[in-house]
Amino acid sequence: MKGYLFPGQGTQFPGMGKDLYDQYQIAKNIFDSANEILGFDITKILFEGSKHDLQQTRVTQPAIYIHSVVIYKVMGDEFQPDAVAGHSLGEFSALTAAGIISFDSGLKLVSKRAMAMQKACDHEAGAMAAIIGLEDEKVITICEQTPGVVVAANFNCPGQLVISGSSNAIALACQSMKAAGAKRAIVLPVGGAFHSPLMKSAMVELANVIDNTKFDLPICPVFQNVVADPVTDPLEIKKNLVAQVISPVRWTQSVKKMIEYGITEFIDVGPGKVLQGLVRKISPDVKVSGFEK
């Protein structure tokens, strides 16, 4: 059984999608359509822009979403998922690939999500830090014991978590993590405290848009970040997608559950190879590959 995985923010790179645009008519159509939906020439930024240009919030999230959708569309009949999952932002790509939302709806939601998150960051500064070499439970305990807002935000793979919260609380937590034996505690170059309670205003804003978006029955289960379980009910999918903004990405748990479900092969659909690396660390024996054309 095949599970398709869709990456999130941080996997973007200059020139992404240009080869697909030049090679496949369906890719060209999707990119051209994206320019119209967004109201600006995102294709030009992707193909000709710098690394810095791609880090703008209004560009980054739609860019990764568009790229992932283009890849699964280019796969054509080869794309036969038994289950899908997406890391944070990648969940929107997964929902599109599973037939739950249309490309247009997905891109509008992703664009709205990016803007709402940026607004929340501007309103309340926050930070995130990668914690390497500590058990999940230890990281959670230290977060709970640290004054201020700090939570475990991304369970990426065993021994690699990301924490999120107010800048002061993150600094204190990093000190405690190192004292507890973490190999590294590195503050990340991100603009805010994603997947933490500091994103509540973004969650409220996105909830209204998700509520008014048509969600259909999926062609296969979606293992959603918030619950790390297979979900097929459109209303439940909506609820989990809203909660995702302030909740942790349970990636380790999702991959393990997908394997329990019967997935024996994972295919990474999108820019970069980050998810392939994480899956290998979660389950070294499972088959993992990326898109190759």
What are the structural domains, with CATH classification, of the chain? 2-122+197-290 (3.40.366.10), 125-187 (3.30.70.250)
Inform me whether the pLDDT recorded for 190 exceeds 90: no
pLDDT at residue number 231? 97
Given 68, 88, 111, 164, which residue is catalytic? 88
Q: Give pLDDT, residue 233.
A: 97
Residue 1 tokens read as: 């059984």
Q: What whole-number distance in Å separates Cα of residue 139 and Cα of residue 252?
A: 15
pLDDT score of 188 more than 70 = yes
Answer yes or no: is pLDDT of 283 > 90: yes
Q: Which residues contact 176 (CB under 8 A, 6 or more apart)?
A: 142, 145, 146
pLDDT band at 293 (very low <50, low <70, confident <90, very high): low
Say which of 105, 166, 195, 283 is annotated catalytic: 195
Measured between alpha carbons, how far is 8 from 19 in angstroms, rounded to an integer? 21
Higher per-residue confidence, 188 vs 239: 239
For 23, the token pair is 């090679």
Is 254 one of the catalytic residues? no
| Lowest-pLDDT choice from 60-74, 100-114, 116-130, 235-249 | 116-130
Mean per-residue pLDDT for 48-57?
82
Mean pLDDT within 67-93: 95
**Maximum distance among all Cα pairs of the chain, rounded to whole angstroms:** 55
**Residue 10: pLDDT above 70?**
yes
pLDDT of residue 204: 95
- The C-alpha atoms of residue 53 and residue 55 are separated, in whole angstroms, by 5
Mean of the per-residue pLDDT values of the chain: 93
Asked whether 119 and 174 are in contact (CB, 8 A), the reply is no
pLDDT tens digit sequence for 113-157: 999 998 988 888 799 999 999 999 999 999 999 999 999 999 999
Q: How many CB atoms lie within 10 A of CB 247?
A: 20
Q: Which of 60, 77, 94 is nearest to 240 (CA)?
A: 94
> Which tokens sit at 176?
């405690």
Cα 59 to its chain centre, rounded Å, is: 15
pLDDT value at position 161?
Answer: 96
pLDDT score of 55: 78
**Per-residue confidence at 53, pLDDT binned at 50, 70, 90?**
confident
Whether 202 has a pLDDT exceeding 60, the answer reads yes
93 is annotated as an active-site residue: no
